[in-house]
Structure 1
Amino acid sequence: MTSTPTPTFSDHARAPKQGRSRQSFERIIEATIELLRERGYDQITLAEICERSGVSTGSLYGRVAGKDELLRVVQLRFLDRLGEQFTEEATRISSQAQGLQQVVPAVVASLGRLLKENASVLRAFMLRAPADPVIQAQGQKAAERDSAKFLNLLEACSAEVRHSQPQRAIQSGMLIIYSTQARFLGLDSVGGRGQGSWDALLEDLSDMMLAFLLFEPAR
């Protein structure tokens, strides 16, 4: 079974060949990310992106066909950077935390921080995904890639898990943690945001995950 090739910029945009053109396109990408941190994708226009980046509209259309194609390029760049952050956090936790009692809360906190800090941009991708299969596929692939980095940390502690199927328990627990955090931050298909204390939610998720992994079912 062959794996799906990882998308690149050239799949969505005409790659700039000259140094100045590359710099201009980088400014377009950065301007788009900045604007997505400020408001929703539907509230941003290409004219605003060009104004923010200092690049002409003609130059923008020389690289991409339109706004939706630009978002695909921006998503690739943004998720690559987010992946690096996940790697850094996983490395930090691996060096500082030992055993489930330390690793679980560290993973819950790190995942929550990364999602919260990038929620506004991630929300743009998630809300666009149902109408754009490319956005959806790129997002799913990155999510699987990044979640695996934290799953590996938990699976390294699998000897402490009392569930008869440690890997299943760890994967199910992480799915619940991610889904709950995403729902609270408005990153799911419903689009609503949770009420209450974010810090309390992280503490409760850590406690529930530990209780679940250390619980020995009778069956």
Structure 2
Amino acid sequence: MEAAGTARKVPQQERSRKSELKLLAAAEDVLAERGAGDFSLADVAARAGVTTGTIYSRFKGKGELVHAVHERVMDRMGAHAARLFAASDGPDGDPSGVTPGGSVTDTHMTADPKALISDLIVRLASVLETEAAVLRALMFHAVEDKSIARRGADAHRNLEALFDDALRRLQPVVPEFPAAQRYWAFTFSYDVLARHLGLGHSSARTEQDNWDEMLRNLSTMVSAYLLCCR
């Protein structure tokens, strides 16, 4: 796939911006449904209700369009992660007691440490599962495209930092963990979730996989690792 090259000019007029967003949404849908191998501008044009010429009037080719989709997904994923890990409520509205800015509430003080750690695992899982379909395609593009790979690596580091910060903010109910232990808690959790969702692997999530059961097992293992001998 061709590299993106220099920064693309962003449309200034509202009508042009709306038209471009429509193209990006269509391209994202096609990537999510067809995968990287079967992605074509003709399918994107058909989905958006335009001609391929319209796409070329805004993007140099398939590569630049994929880059624009990737930026859109990474920005959305980063914002989603920031909201989840800064929130005082978990993905399903259950209070964890961790407030924005790191203060500790009464709920936090009386909470089960295992439940607090499990809540963070669920938040991490929510970020990845929400974008899994399109991420599967984009991760295959990253194999040959260094720019996409670098942007993805930045997003991964940001997600790790958010998870790490959330773990540290669980104190004093949850003991302070060494940096290496926090790193491996995130890395193991991310890798298990990514493999389950088919991110970066040749096979997608299978029908026999039970998402909720996997999350319970993962949370149990990570909690046991973090809380052992404490």
Determine if the TM-score, normalized by the shorter chain, exceeds 0.5.
Answer: yes
TM-score in terms of structure 2 length: 0.80
Gaps of 5+ in 1: 1-8
Given candidates 84, 92, 99, the residue that maps to 1:89 is: 84
Given candidates 161, 183, 189, the residue that maps to 2:175 is: 161
* Aligned-residue offset at 1:193: 4.2
For the 8 Å contact 2:122–2:215, the answer to whether it is kept is yes
For the 8 Å contact 2:85–2:166, the answer to whether it is kept is yes
2:129 matches 1:116: yes
* Aligned-residue offset at 1:178: 0.4
User: What pairs up with 1:162-181 in 2 under 5 angstroms?
Assistant: 166-181=178-193
2:60 matches 1:60: no
2:104 matches 1:104: no
For the 8 Å contact 1:33–1:121, the answer to whether it is kept is yes
- In structure 2, the CA distance between the partners of 1:152 and 1:70, relative to structure 1 (3 Å rule), is same
- The residue that corresponds to 1:24 in the other structure is 19
* Aligned-residue offset at 1:48: 1.4
Relative to structure 2, which stretch is displaced further, 139-148 or 98-107?
Answer: 98-107
- The residue that corresponds to 2:41 in the other structure is 46
* Aligned-residue offset at 1:45: 1.1
% same residue: 30
- Quote the Cα distance in structure 1 between the aligned partners of 2:140 and 2:25: 20
- Quote the Cα distance in structure 2 between the aligned partners of 1:84 and 1:10: 26
* Aligned-residue offset at 1:139: 0.8
Output one character per residue of 1:3-42: Cα deviation in whole Å (capped at 9) or x when no partner.
xxxxxx9944333243332221111101111222322122
Aligned length: 207
For the 8 Å contact 1:12–1:69, the answer to whether it is kept is no
- Quote the Cα distance in structure 2 between the aligned partners of 1:43 and 1:20: 30
TM-score in terms of structure 1 length: 0.84
For the 8 Å contact 1:173–1:209, the answer to whether it is kept is yes
SS at match of 2:141: helix
SS at match of 1:43: coil
Output one character per residue of 1:145-204: Cα deviation in whole Å (capped at 9) or x when no partner.
123212211012355337xx6221111111000001101111034546465322111111
- In structure 2, the CA distance between the partners of 1:102 and 1:93, relative to structure 1 (3 Å rule), is farther
Relative to structure 2, which stretch is displaced further, 12-21 or 46-55?
Answer: 12-21
For the 8 Å contact 1:28–1:53, the answer to whether it is kept is yes
Q: What letter is aligned with 2:190?
A: Y
For the 8 Å contact 1:14–1:62, the answer to whether it is kept is no
- In structure 2, the CA distance between the partners of 1:86 and 1:10, relative to structure 1 (3 Å rule), is farther
2:141 matches 1:141: no
Q: Which has the higher helix share?
A: 1
Gaps of 5+ in 2: 97-107
- Quote the Cα distance in structure 2 between the aligned partners of 1:198 and 1:146: 21
SS at match of 1:141: helix
- Quote the Cα distance in structure 1 between the aligned partners of 2:20 and 2:5: 13
